[in-house]
Every structure is written in C-alpha cells, then in structure tokens.
Amino acid sequence: MSTANRPVPKPNGFTCTAPFWQAARDRKLMLQYCPESGRFQHVPRPVSVYTGKRNLEWREVAGKGHIYALTTLRVGRAEIAARLPLIAATIELDEGVRIIGNLIESEPRSCRIGRRVELAWDMLDEGMSYPAFRIANESR
C-alpha cells in the first residue's frame, strides 16, 4: 500500500499566511486579530476586514467551536483511499470565524452540524502539522 502524497503549504508574502503555517508547525492555531474592532479574521489578509488598517496581531486560539457544515467523502483516488472516509467540515470557532478542516478520530455517524469540536492535529509531508478537528468530549 502506498502512502498519499500530502504536500506542505508554500506560504508567500502576498497571502500573509506564513505566520499561520509557522505556528502550525509548532501545533499552535494562530489567527489574525484586529485590536481596533476587537475581532478575529480568517483567512489571513494584509489588512483588517473591519477597519482596512494594517495593525493586525496574531493571537493563539483554543480551536474550540462547532460544526457549521460538513461532507463525507467515501470514494476517491487510489492514493487517498486509505484515508477514507474523509470528513471535511467548516468549523465555526468560538472566536467568531470559520475555518475549513478535516474531522479526524471521529466516526462519520457521530459528525453532525452543531456538534462541538476541538482542535486536533493531522500530519502532512515533511513532518508538518496541519490543523484538524475531532468531536469534543462533551463531558469536559
């Protein structure tokens, strides 16, 4: 059985994603924060979507939220067949932004819109950590 090729993101200056991916290497979920509006934003941008200013900060977040939308992939290319079913979801974080990620360590039947999730980490090539999510233990 061959392992799927899972390339590492190549951030560039235009997309302003380098701090996000550098933090992910250390298993930290960092989001841009606009201190003037008091709000987070995602995907990374050079300016605040709320004020148009460049005074953004990077802040670590817990990665807790709920499933906003999801889909389950059951068939696919041979190189990803070992990872199926693959559950991809839009997660609404408690900080008020949405992020797309895989749901791992979760059975498809337990994944429903509205379920609480928590940050987990998946691996790409070259030992790169990638933010993913799992169904939260609701007794915590």
Q: Which residue has the higher pLDDT, 106 or 81?
A: 106
What is the structure's pLDDT at 5?
65
Nearest to 31 by CA among 19, 13, 14: 19
> Does the pLDDT at position 108 exceed 90?
no
Mean pLDDT, the chain, integer: 87
| Confidence category of residue 23, pLDDT binned at 50, 70, 90 | very high
pLDDT above 70 coverage of the chain, percent = 82
Distant-in-sequence, close-in-space partners of 140: CB < 8 Å, separation ≥ 6: none
Q: Which residue has the higher pLDDT, 65 or 12?
A: 65
Please tell me the distance from the alpha carbon of residue 57 to that of residue 23, in angstroms, as a whole number.
13
What is the structure's pLDDT at 41?
97
pLDDT, mean of residues 92-121 = 94
Q: Which pair of tokens denotes residue 101?
A: 């990620």
What is the structure's pLDDT at 77?
62
* Burial of 62: CB neighbours in 10 Å, binned 0-12, 13-18, 19+: exposed
> Does the pLDDT at position 12 exceed 90?
no
The pairs formed by 41-46 with CB atoms below 8 angstroms and a separation of 24 or more are: 41/97, 42/97, 42/98, 42/99, 43/15, 43/17, 44/15, 44/16, 44/17, 44/19, 44/20, 45/16, 46/16
Question: What one-letter code names the amino acid at 110?
Answer: S
> Does the pLDDT at position 139 exceed 90?
no
Q: Which residue has the higher pLDDT, 126 or 98?
A: 98
Helix/strand/coil percentages in the chain, nearest 5: 15, 35, 50
The matching CATH number, chosen from 2.40.50, 2.30.29, 3.40.50, 1.10.357, for 62-140 is: 2.40.50
- Residue that is written with structure tokens 């670590």 in the block: 60
The structural domains of the chain, with segments of one domain joined by +, span 10-61, 62-140
